[in-house]
Amino acid sequence: MARTQLAALHHNANTGREQATTSTGELRFKVVFPKRTKDWVAKPIMEKTTKDHLGKLVDAIVARKNLDYDDRSEGLDTSHIAQNIATKPRPEKAAVTAQHTSRFSKS
């Protein structure tokens, strides 16, 4: 679980990267052949990731560790986290299955 959380923090800290450029200022791309499209595609190469966010995280861990046991044993407040990521309420199952169409059905 901790590795997943660290991976999420690393991803979130590096989402705003710009596209890498050559020394002459040209944008960098890599050419790939996806199986799905079966055609060559140019994908942008992004700047290297940073680990600047880890310094703050380590400092917070050390500061919490240096607290008295009674002060650091209190739980985290997770009341602000939504129970579900859905943006609208869940419909009835019958309504959803009635709208379902299979891509393998015979038309």
Res 107 pLDDT > 60 = no
Whole-angstrom distance, CA of residue 12 vs CA of residue 59: 19
User: Rounded CA gap, 30 and 43, in Å?
Assistant: 5
pLDDT at 42 over 70: yes
Q: Return the higher-pLDDT residue of 61 and 75.
A: 61
* pLDDT average, residue stretch 21-43: 89
Burial class (CB in 10 A: 0-12, 13-18, 19+), 13: middle
Mean pLDDT of the chain: 82
Q: Residue 89: how many CA atoms within 13 Å on its side-chain side?
A: 2
pLDDT of 98 strictly over 80: no
**Segments making up each domain of the chain, as ranges:** 29-69
pTM of the model: 0.51
Task: Find which of 26-40, 60-74, 84-98 is predicted with most confidence, using mean pLDDT.
Answer: 26-40
More confident residue, 103 or 68: 68
